[in-house]
Amino acid sequence: MLKLPEVRGDLKIIAAKRPFLTDLCEAYEDACVKLQRLRITPGNANCPMIEEYEMIGAEIEAEIIACCTEHRSHQW
């Protein structure tokens, strides 16, 4: 789930106009699920993949938020 709940409402509207956004949301969910699994696996405290998936999730989230921000700016 995205950290910024204020963009969630925009996602349905934007996804209807930009289908790639649905793919981004699915990729974000996949990255979050994988990250959670890595974090709960015993012995993974220093696993480099945790940092990698944190970065992947943050990058995808930033891209989704940028799409929402761009959409909002075009509405005005």
Does residue 10 lie within any of the structural domains? no
3 part of a folded domain: no
Residue 18 lies in a domain: no
Q: Give the pLDDT confidence of 14-54 residue by residue, as tens digits.
A: 888 888 888 998 999 999 999 999 999 998 888 899 999 99
Query: What number of other Cβ atoms are within 10 A of residue 68's Cβ?
Result: 21
Position 48 in a domain: yes
Q: Per the structure, how many domains does the chain have?
A: 1
Q: Which domain holds residue 53?
A: 25-75
| Dihedral of the alpha carbons of 61, 62, 63, 64, in degrees to the nearest 10 | 50
Say what the pLDDT of residue 4 is: 61
- Residue 45 CA from chain centroid, whole number: 23
Residue 20 lies in a domain: no
What pLDDT, on the 0 to 100 scale, is given for residue 17?
Answer: 83
Q: Flag whether 33 is in a domain.
A: yes
